[in-house]
Amino acid sequence: MARRRTIRPAEGADSSGPLHTPLDRSRIEAAAVEVLQREGLANISMRKIADELGVKAASLYYHVRDKDELHRLLAERIGSEAPLPDAALPWREQIGQWAADFRQALNRYRDAAFIMGATIAATPARLAHIEFLFRLLADTGFGDEQIPWLASMLRNYVVGFADEESRLADRAQRSEMDAADRERKNREAFEELPADRYPTLIRLSAMTVSPDLDREFAFGLDVLLDGFEARLEQAD
């Protein structure tokens, strides 16, 4: 069985450790992740990270200059957790595996899609993802001008889908109803719409209020790759 290559975090793994452990970027990253998961990106701050570590906020700035660099550190952490596929696989399978693993990495962290979109991909793991996509698309036969566009389409699809999943999860968490009650209430809302104006929307309400997100993700990616393949065949 082919083995997949895994990118290791550039700054080291989670190693929060006891208070006497010397402060470094890996400890700051681990503490930042704790605050992120507990409070979300909007509420993260150097002071809260320092409190998590039991140090003064000023001591963090020797290792992380500002909040922008902190966001880049978090983005690198997320990117490092998405392994790159085996290069021996067919190109569509490689992209499918990359997309599934990238989506899974995004879904591990709160506000991950926003973090990735708000930061420049200039760190080792994230650059490795770009290199992987560019090289794979080039080896598949796409033109140099098209490759950055196609890679952006793939990235935007995965990040956008994960962002929607995150929003759905946040709304569900804020709701006082369980999943079955939310689904029933949403279906009832559709059924109360004027049937003469929205007949198709009402007919498809069951698929709308209880989507299979895994199947939807795979379907959307297949549609995208079908378009890529058609473009490739036209070039031939």
Q: Are 106 and 113 in contact (CB under 8 A)?
A: yes
Its domain, for residue 231, covers 91-235
Residue 85 DSSP symbol: P
Residue 84 DSSP symbol: B
Q: Is residue 50 part of a domain?
A: no
What's the pTM value of the predicted model, to 2 decimals? 0.83
Q: Is residue 109 part of a domain?
A: yes
Instruction: Give the span between the Cα atoms of 83 and 62, in whole angstroms.
Output: 31
- If one counts the domains in the chain, the total is 1
Q: Is residue 115 part of a domain?
A: yes
For 69-87, write each residue's pLDDT tens digit.
999 999 999 999 999 999 9
For 99-147, write each residue's pLDDT tens digit.
999 999 999 999 999 999 999 999 999 999 999 999 999 999 999 999 9
**Encoded amino acid at 78, one letter:** I
For 114-153, b where at least 16 C-beta lie within 10 A, e where not — what string? bbbeebebebebbebbbebbbebbeebebeeeebeebbee
Q: Is residue 212 part of a domain?
A: yes
- Domain containing residue 143: CATH number: 1.10.357.10
Q: Is residue 173 part of a domain?
A: yes
